[in-house]
C-alpha cells in the first residue's frame, strides 16, 4: 500500500497520514501541492516508522522534509519518556548563527574583490574544514576551557542567554565526558572550525533594506559525530538490533544508557553552540580589517536537537516531553511560556533558515499556527537531489553552474543597489551543494505563511560564501 496516497488533505497545505500499522499517532505534514507531489514514498515510510517508536505522542513533517536516515530530515517527533537517537542524528545541534553588521550596506560590499578579500581574512582566523590545520590567527583553547564548554556551552565563553536558543543544556555532573576517546580527542583541535559538507560562513544582504548580515552554519564537529556513532551502536545492542539497523535504536530516558546518552548528547549540543560563537570572533575581525565595521550577534539556534519542552498536541492538550527536531527549527511565538522573562517574550524568538548558496536564506517569526506543527518550522529549503546523484547528473553542467554563481545579478534595498556575483572560497561550485539540488525556498516559506505557522521577516541573498572543505 502506498502511504503517500493514503494521506488526507486537511487544508491547502496541511496533510495527515492517519495511524496505520504500528503508528501510535497520526503524522501531520505541511506541504504545498507541488511539494507534496514531489515527496518520496520512502519519506512517508520513515515518518510512519518515526510515529511507531515507543512513547511517541506527536509526529510532524516540515515543508522542506525529505528522506533521511532512520527518520525524515525535516521532521519533529515528540515522545514521553523515550529518546530517539535518529532525532538528532550524527551532527548533534547542527545549527545557525546570524550576525548583523550595523552601518554596512549593499553599496559597501558591491566590489567583488573586497568580498574575496573578506573571505581570505576569515580563512586566516577560522578553519573551514576538519580543523587539524589551524589558521595562524585562529584562537587556541586549553583542555580546562574545553571541559567548561562541554558542560556550559555559550555560558563558558561569556555569551548572553538572550543571543541563544539554549545557552547550554544541563549535563549531569557525575558524567564522565572522557568515556568516548574518539570523541574527546576531537574537542580541542576542532573548536572554532566550520567542518565540511553543507556547513558554511556566508555574507548576505537583506533584499528589502540592503543591510549586511553574516550567517554561520555548523554543528558539533567530530565530537558530536563520534558521540552519536558510539551510542547508535550501544543502543542497537541494548534493543537487540543488528548493527546495520543501529539508526533505528531508541532509549528510555530513565535507563542507564538513556541517561548516559542524554548527558553526552547535551555536551555535544553545548559544544556546537559555543563553537558557533567562537567563529563569530574571527568573522568580526575580518569585517574590521576589510570593511572597517564590526558585527553583533543577532541570534543562534539549532536544527538537529532533542530538547525537553512543553508543546500543544494536535488534540489541544499540552505535553511536556522530548521534542526531537531532525532538520527542523524550534518556533516559539510571542507569549509562549518558555520565552517568559526573555527578550523574545513579546515577539517570539527568531527562526534562522539557511537556503542554498545561490538562493539565499530567511529569518522568520512564529505565529499562532505553530501549535499545529509542534512549534517548529523548516531548517532550510530541503534537498530534492542526493549528493551522489547531484555529482552524476550535474557534472556536465559544471561550467554553467560556475557561471551562474559568478554572474548572478541582484538588486537590494530602496536604492536598488546592484551586486554582481557570489564570491567563494571554492575553485569550482560544489555540485552537491549548488542551488539546483535544493527545493525552492520561497515555495517552502509560502507554506508556513499560508498556514499561519510563521512569517518571513527578512529575506536575504548571498554575496560571499565560504564552504567547509574537508
Least reliable range by pLDDT among 132-146, 190-204, 301-315, 433-447: 132-146
pLDDT of residue 215: 98
Please, what is the angle between helix 143-152 and helix 256-291, to 10°? 110
Nine-digit cell string for 346: 513579546
Catalytic residue among 14, 108, 265, 379: 379
DSSP state for residue 374 in the 8-state scheme: T
Percent share of the chain, pLDDT over 90: 89
pLDDT of residue 405: 94
Mean pLDDT, range 387-405, rounded to an integer: 93
Cα 468 from Cα 201, distance rounded (Å): 8
Mean pLDDT, range 328-339, rounded to an integer: 96
* 323 sits in which H/E element: strand 318-326
Percent share of the chain, pLDDT over 70: 98
The question of whether 379 is a catalytic residue gets the answer yes
pLDDT of residue 22: 95
424 within 8 A of 203, measured Cβ to Cβ? no
Whether the per-residue pLDDT at 317 is higher than 90: the answer is no
pLDDT of residue 316: 81
pLDDT of residue 130: 56
Mean pLDDT, range 321-328, rounded to an integer: 97
| Residue 270 backbone phi and psi in degrees, to 5 | -60, -40
301 within 8 A of 125, measured Cβ to Cβ? no
pLDDT of residue 313: 77
Whether the per-residue pLDDT at 131 is higher than 60: the answer is no
Q: What does the pLDDT look like over 37-80, one tens digit per residue?
A: 999 999 999 999 999 999 999 999 999 999 998 899 999 999 99
Nine-digit cell string for 445: 516559506
Judge: domain 95-467, CATH 3.90.1860.10. yes
pLDDT of residue 468: 76
Q: What does the pLDDT look like over 96-125, one tens digit per residue?
A: 999 999 999 999 999 999 999 999 999 999
Convert 385-414 to b/e letters by CB count within 10 Å (16 or more is b).
beeeebeeebeeeeeebbebbeebebebbe
- pTM of the predicted model as reported, rounded to 2 decimal places: 0.95
At 129, the pLDDT band (50, 70, 90 cuts) reads low
pLDDT of residue 449: 98
Mean pLDDT of the chain: 94
**174 Cβ contact list (under 8 Å, min separation 6):** none
Pairing, β 73-79 against β 296-302: unpaired
Nearest to 153 by CA among 1, 267, 24: 267
Pairing, β 423-424 against β 417-420: unpaired
162 within 8 A of 204, measured Cβ to Cβ? no
At 310, the pLDDT band (50, 70, 90 cuts) reads confident
Cα 212 from Cα 295, distance rounded (Å): 10
pLDDT of residue 385: 87
* 394 sits in which H/E element: helix 387-394
Whether the per-residue pLDDT at 243 is higher than 90: the answer is yes
Residue 289 exposure: Cα atoms within 13 Å on the Cβ side: 18
Q: How far is CA 466 from CA 77, 359, 363, 423, in A?
A: 32, 15, 20, 8
Amino acid at each position: 500500500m502506498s502511504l503517500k496516497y493514503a494521506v488526507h488533505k486537511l487544508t491547502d497545505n496541511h496533510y495527515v497520514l492517519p495511524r496505520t500499522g504500528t503508528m501510535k499517532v497520526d503524522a501531520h505534514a505541511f506541504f504545498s501541492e507541488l511539494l507534496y507531489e514531489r515527496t518520496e514514498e520512502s519519506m512517508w515510510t520513515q515518518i510512519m516508522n518515526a510515529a511507531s517508536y515507543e512513547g511517541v505522542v506527536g509526529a510532524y513533517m516540515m515543508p522542506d522534509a525529505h528522506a533521511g536516515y532512520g527518520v525524515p530530515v525535516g521532521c519533529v517527533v515528540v515522545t514521553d519518556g523515550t529518546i530517539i537517537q535518529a532525532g538528532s542524528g550524527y551532527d548533534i545541534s547542527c545549527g545557525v548563527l546570524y550576525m548583523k553588521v550595523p552601518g554596512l550596506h549593499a553599496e559597501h560590499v558591491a566590489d567583488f574583490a573586497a568580498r574575496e578579500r573578506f573571505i581570505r581574512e576569515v580563512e586566516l582566523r577560522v578553519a573551514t574544514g576538519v580543523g587539524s590545520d589551524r589558521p595562524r590567527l585562529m584562537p587556541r583553547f586549553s583542555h580546562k576551557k574545553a571541559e567548561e564548554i562541554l558542560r556550559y556551552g555559550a555560558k563558558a565563553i561569556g555569551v548572553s542567554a538572550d543571543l541563544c536558543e539554549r545557552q547550554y543544556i544541563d549535563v549531569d555532573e557525575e558524567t564522565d565526558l572522557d568515556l568516548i576517546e574518539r570523541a574527546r580527542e576531537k574537542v580541542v583541535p576542532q573548536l572554532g572550525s566550520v567542518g565540511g559538507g553543507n556547513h558554511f560562513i556566508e555574507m548576505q544582504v537583506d533584499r528589502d533594506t540592503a543591510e549586511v548580515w553574516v550567517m554561520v552554519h555548523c554543528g558539533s564537529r567530530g565530537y558530536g559525530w563520534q558521540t552519536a556513532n558510539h551510542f547508535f551502536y550501544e543502543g542497537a545492542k541494548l534493543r537487540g538490533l543488528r548493527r546495520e539497523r543501529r539508526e533505528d535504536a531508541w532509549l528510555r530516558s530513565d535507563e542507564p544508557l538513556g541517561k548516559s546518552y542524554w548527558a553526552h548528547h547535551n555536551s555535544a549540543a553545548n559544544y556546537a553552540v559555543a563553537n558557533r560563537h567562537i567563529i563569530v570572533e574571527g568573522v568580526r575581525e575580518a569585517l574590521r580589517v576589510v570593511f572597517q565595521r564590526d558585527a553583533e550577534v543577532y541570534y543562534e539556534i539549532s536544527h538537529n536537537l532533542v530538547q525537553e519542552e512543553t508543546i500543544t498536541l494536535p488534540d489541544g492538550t499540552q505535553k511536556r516531553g522530548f521534542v526531537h527536531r531532525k532538520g527542523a527549527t524550534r518556533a516559539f511565538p510571542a507569549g509562549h511560556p518558555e520565552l517568559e522573562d526573555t527578550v523574545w517574550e513579546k515577539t517570539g524568538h527568531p527562526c534562522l533558515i539557511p537556503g542554498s548558496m545561490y538562493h539565499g536564506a530567511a529569518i522568520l517569526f512564529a505565529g499562532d499556527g505553530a501549535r499545529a506543527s509542534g512549534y517548529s518550522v523548516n531548517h532550510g529549503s530541503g534537498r530534492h537531489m542526493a549528493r551522489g546523484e547531484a555529482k552524476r547528473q550535474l557534472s556536465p553542467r559544471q561550467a554553467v553552474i560556475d557561471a551562474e554563481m559568478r554572474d548572478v545579478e541582484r538588486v537590494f534595498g530602496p536604492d536598488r543597489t546592484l551586486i554582481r556575483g557570489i564570491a567563494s572560497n571554492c575553485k569550482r561550485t560544489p555540485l552537491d551543494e549548488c542551488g539546483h539540488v535544493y527545493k525552492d525556498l520561497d515555495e517552502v516559506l509560502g507554506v508556513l505563511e499560508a498556514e499561519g505557522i510563521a512569517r518571513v521577516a527578512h529575506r536575504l541573498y548571498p554575496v560571499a560564501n565560504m564552504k567547509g572543505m574537508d
